[in-house]
Chain A
Amino acid sequence: MTKLLLVKYSEIHLKGQNRPYFQNLLLKRVKESVRPFTRDVQLYDSRIFIRGILDKEAAMEAVRKVFGVHAVCPAVEMEKADFDAICRVAAQIMAPLSGTFKVRARRADKRYFLDSPEISARIGGFVLANQPNLKVDVHQPEHVLHVEIRDQALLYARELPGVGGLPTGSSGKAMLMLSGGIDSPVAGYMVAKRGVVLSAVHFYSFPYTGELAREKVLSLARILSGFCGVIKTYVVSFTKLQEAIHTHCPPEYTTLVMRRLMVRISDLLAEKEQACALVTGESIGQVASQTMEALAATDLMASRPVFRPLIGFDKIEIIRLAEKIGTYETSSLPYEDCCTVFTPRHPVTRPKIGKVLEAEAAIPEAEALVAVAVETAEVLFIGPEAPLSGDNP
Chain B
Amino acid sequence: MNDHMVYLDNAATTQPTLAVIEAVNLSLSTGFFNPSALYKPAVAAAKEMENCRQLIKDRLQAEQVIFTSGGTEANNLAILGQLSGSRQGGRVLYSLGEHPSVKAACQALPEGFLATGIPLNREGVVDMEAFSRLLGPDTRLVCVMQVNNETGVIQPLLEAAKLIKEKAPGAWLHVDGVQGFLRLPVRLKDFGIDSYALSAHKVHGPKGIGALALGGKKPIKPHLFGGGQEAGMRSGTENIPGIAGLMAAIQGFPSTQEMRARKLRLYEGLRAVIPALLVNGPDPYGPCACDHILNLSFPPVRAETMLHALSAKGVYVSHGAACSSRKSRHSETLKAMGISQAALDGALRFSLSPYNTDEEINTAVNAVKEAYQALKEFTRR
User: Residues of A with Cβ closer than 8 Å to B?
Assistant: 206-212, 243, 246-247, 251, 254, 334-336, 339-345
Number of B interface residues, CB 8 Å? 19
A207-B378 contact given A334-B327, A339-B302, CB 8 Å threshold: no
A343 to B380, CA, bound (A): 7
**A207, A341, A343, A344: which contacts B308 (Cβ < 8 A)?**
A207
Interface centre among B308, B312, B326, B371 (most CB of A within 10 A): B308
Closest B residue to A212 using CB positions: B326
A206 to B305, CA, bound (A): 8
B328 close to A344 (CB less than 8 A): no
Interface centre among A211, A254, A339, A344 (most CB of B within 10 A): A339
User: Residues of B with Cβ closer than 8 Å to A?
Assistant: 302, 304-309, 311-312, 326-328, 371, 375, 377-381
Q: Which 7 A-B pairs have the closest CB atoms?
A: A334-B328, A207-B308, A251-B381, A207-B309, A210-B308, A208-B305, A341-B378
A382 to B371, CA, bound (A): 32
Given contacts A335-B328, A345-B380, 15 further A-B contacts (CB under 8 A): A206-B308, A207-B307, A207-B308, A207-B312, A208-B304, A208-B378, A209-B308, A210-B307, A210-B311, A211-B308, A243-B378, A246-B381, A339-B304, A341-B305, A341-B379
B309 close to A345 (CB less than 8 A): no
A-B residue pairs in contact (CB < 8 Å), sample of 19: A207-B312, A207-B371, A208-B305, A209-B308, A210-B304, A210-B307, A211-B311, A251-B381, A334-B328, A335-B328, A339-B304, A339-B305, A341-B302, A341-B305, A341-B378, A341-B380, A342-B378, A344-B380, A345-B381
A208 to B312, CA, bound (A): 12
Please indicate the chain A residues that have their CB under 8 angstroms from the CB of B371 in the complex: 207
Please indicate the chain B residues that have their CB under 8 angstroms from the CB of A207 in the complex: 305-309, 311-312, 371, 375
Please indicate the chain B residues that have their CB under 8 angstroms from the CB of A339 in the complex: 302, 304-305
**B306, B328, B378: which contacts A246 (Cβ < 8 A)?**
B378
A334 to B305, CA, bound (A): 15
B378 close to A336 (CB less than 8 A): no
Please indicate the chain B residues that have their CB under 8 angstroms from the CB of A212 in the complex: 326
A345 to B380, CA, bound (A): 8
A247 to B235, CA, bound (A): 62
Please indicate the chain A residues that have their CB under 8 angstroms from the CB of B305 in the complex: 207-208, 339, 341
Give, as a whole number of angstroms, the nearest-CB distance from B174 to chain A: 31
Please indicate the chain A residues that have their CB under 8 angstroms from the CB of B311 in the complex: 207, 210-211
